[in-house]
Structure 1
Amino acid sequence: MSFIQIVDSEGVVLDAPFWFPEDQELGSEAYAVVSILGCQGSGKSTLLNKLFQTNFLIADKRNFGRATTKGVHVAKCPQNSLLVVMDVEGGDSRERGVSGKAFQSRIAGFASAISDVVLINLWFHDVGRTEAASYSLLRAIFVEAAKAAAEGGAIKTLMCFVVRDTDPSYTSEELKDILLQGARDIWNTIPKTGEAVDAKLEDFFDFDLFALPHMQYESEQFENKCKELKDHFLQESHPKFYLRSEYSKVGIGIPADGFAAFSKNLWESVYENAEILSSGDVEAGQAELTAAYKCEEATSDILRDIAKETSKLLRNLEDGEKISNLGSKFRDLVNQCLTRFDNAVSDVSSNALVSRKRRELEAIIDTSLNAVFVKQLQVLRENALSQFKASLSSEEVPSDFAFFTADSMFVREAEDSIRPGSDWSYNTERTDLQNTMHEISSRRKQLIAQQIQAAQQQASALQYLQMQQAQMQAIQQQQYGGSGGNWNFGAAYRPPETDVNISVGYQQHRTSIQISMVPDESAGYLGPGGFTAGVGPGNLGLSFNINI
């Protein structure tokens, strides 16, 4: 759906009775308004387009650093004709520079005053950085809330922090706690009058947080999380439905047919606070404000490049291959970033401010690189564990030696991955590796013991069978007679001119002596013919056998 510009880049509000042609037909129906605030180029317009199917302009990479959304743009959500989506100019526009702080604060105050839900779009690396542009916008929002409270017209607003490119090692609750503490600190510094003096921040705002992974490098997860966030706005049955009546500005008379007029009056009212909103950001005067702006600009540029570099390193580790000399790479990268920062702020006279910003920058870089270090440790642990298992597969390598070798390799490569000067540690991963190897060694010893026991049982069973076989052979020998042997032998002798045949035979473990007086057809020791061939025809007689 197309959008319209209700506030231009010069701060001129659209002077028209209606924003949209259908406003007059809607009459007293009340709009719900969702606005988004955040740094320039942080993906605000892209996020709104994904959530609400709008067509806000998105940044052109070839014109990076130039604002795409100038002033305030609005569009309707195609899935809800009473939902107005507001895209707001980035809070750190380079084109406006330092002088644009008042304008940006004015826009932030206006958006928060008219919106049911305000999305604060910020980078993960800006969480906790009180000098980041997003925190300046919070001050502007809170000043407007305090003013409305003092006049008795404050209505609660839902503020949802949308944290981009999050580190999975941080939970949403941890990020929310950090941001809420920063928000409370800002609220406590704002001058208040009337009913706002003793009020708490939570009296005027409810807070939520939604963490989004990297849109490019984790595109599938990003799309899924956007669908989840979208349901908070469009599914009334959702347990955390955002567009609840308690946030609706209908209570102060904003029907659809009067929305444009109300917005114009509100814009003029917020203009009166522009000077307060801007002067509260930095109290040390124009020179200090200029210094802070330059430091912030340099920091944002460097952190944007660091985010790309860490994403590249993490992708390299996804395949399970370690990055050699990672600690040295970290050292060189940090030194390059700090040198860039020093060069960018070389003309800033406030040494104290520069030093503080430099320390903050190094701390943020350290946190980003630590995520790569932790991923490297996971790869090193798996490599050491694989080597340990391979060593155990060889019966010649003792398990203690395999343990020592794998542990030493892990320690050596982990030490090589630490950024010099950091307080990083690999103790947790090493302990986990050692525990895993101990468990594997224990299981291996149990398996070997079971194999030995099974072999012993098998040997005992074999011995028993051999004994049974020997007993059976002994029984057979007793039954058939004779003694054991491994060969067959037969011989016969007939004395000349006698009727006596004498034969001796050894066959099938039996020894036999036979004396025949007649042909013996059944004598099988000397062949199927027995002694027939050796006895004359017609001779008959007796024979006897002796088995030895």
Structure 2
Amino acid sequence: MSACQLIDANGNFVNSLPGAQGNTSSHYTTIAVVGCQSGGKSTLLNHAFQTQFPVLDAPRSGRRRTTLGVWSALHTGPHLQVILDVEGTDSRERGEGAKSFESRTTLFALALADVVIVNMWAHDVGRYSAANYDLFETVFAHSVALRRSSSMMKQRPVRVIIVVRDHDSESNVADIRRVLMGDLQNIWDSLKIRSFEMSSLFDMEVVALPHMVYAPDDFEREVKKLAENITKGNRRREAAMVPLEGFDALAQTVWSGICRSTGGDGEDAEFTLDLPRHAALAAHFKVGEIVMSIFDGVVGMKIEELRAEIEAEWRRPVRDYTVRVDAVVNEAFQSFDKATVSYKGAAAAEAVQTRRTELGVDLFSRISVLRDRYLAVCRDFCMNGFEDEFRPMLGGTNGFERNARRVANSFIAKYKAFAQGAGLPSVLKEYEDMQEAKEEEDIDFLAVERDYDPLDAEYGLIDSDDEDEYSCERFKRDVMRMVEERKQLGELMLPGNGVPLNLGPKREPWWKGLLIRAAILFINYLQATQGQRAALNLHRKHEREFPPGPTF
């Protein structure tokens, strides 16, 4: 399994876990190894989990650091395992900064790992400095601080496997375990941690491995048993804090939190790492990427295609608008739910719900703009059809009002059918109030920015008309106003409302009636062209407000 450096020697988060991108599994085990420098940690992991961590070549380069920072690999067997190879402790290359970096990497391993392997040599057992027992002081102190600050997580004891290297057959494993556990209990007691027992935080095991060079077959056999023991003992039944694809985001937020914190020792350790918060941040980030991918993918493309089709056919409404919008909205939510099904747990679930709400509000906004453009086309289509049939009618003549209202009601009903068909999908109704609240916040912000005066509305300096421009009532009012205006003009030009006039004994010139009718026809023509000009101006207004984008 290929490996890569996750955190470099300077403490910078530089890479991603190889093979994790796009893997939504929440059932994986994280295994970390810690121990002294040049102790064979990377070699142990390579033999146990078939990883490819860089190893020490002592004859050529001497005993020096090989693993710098933290390296990672993904073991993809029957059970997913994230392997973390942590830089060795007691490094002479680190100098005075060694202790601080060791504390950070140790806390990082404890925060993320389900299993911590502590690597040490058999001949160092019982010797405080040589056995690197100060590493256990760091592990104990930070584990207590981690449990206190992350009460929602890591309630089970951390599984710690102490691997004793180069064990010979003359030494009894039970004696080694007795000595180690006694020393560890003494270290725990010396820290005076009164709020926890060591057994409540750690599940300790001791495993002895033969010499890799002098007993290679025995070494391989025992390492294989160790790997099987780790796998069988840590088959994750509950979901991890975040799915595997979110491991990088979680690891980065945890490392950033560790680097920002300060440290102490013992019960007063100040590493207040809030794992639930970091898990929530990681989940929030990854689920946000899912929302962006939805709009950057098929859903966004379909919305743009529908918008381009509406604008291309400005004089005729597109077919199956409602069906296509419903399909797009349903596809967006289904894609989101499918992509986030692996984000479980209290922290991740809250992030999923928040991002799902954001998805709904964004969809509501986009579909609302699409609906306005569609209704603008429907309004122009119905208004132009009405004007075509209304243009030949003469106001003030017999049957004018009856015929004009019949035509007007016909197109009012047609536009009402378009408007009802263009209603927002029911799944978006719950996000309407959220979008309105967001718009009110934007308006308040803009009002503060431009030093808004409430008297502006009174003097007509801002538009205070809250009526929907594309409502059925607005369309009906505009159509009936045209009918009423022509009726009044006809009654003015033709007194008697179509009833034959009693001219008396004196007859009017024959050309006078023709002149009046010609004048009425001319005025009707002006009114009709005025409606067309109004529709053209509305069209230009929409093009200015919603400039058409490129169509591919």
TM-score bin (small chain)? 0.3 to 0.5
Larger Rg computed on CA atoms: 1
TM-score scaled to structure 1, two decimals? 0.45
Q: Which has the higher strand share?
A: 1
Given the two structures, how large is their TM-score scaled by the length of structure 2?
0.45
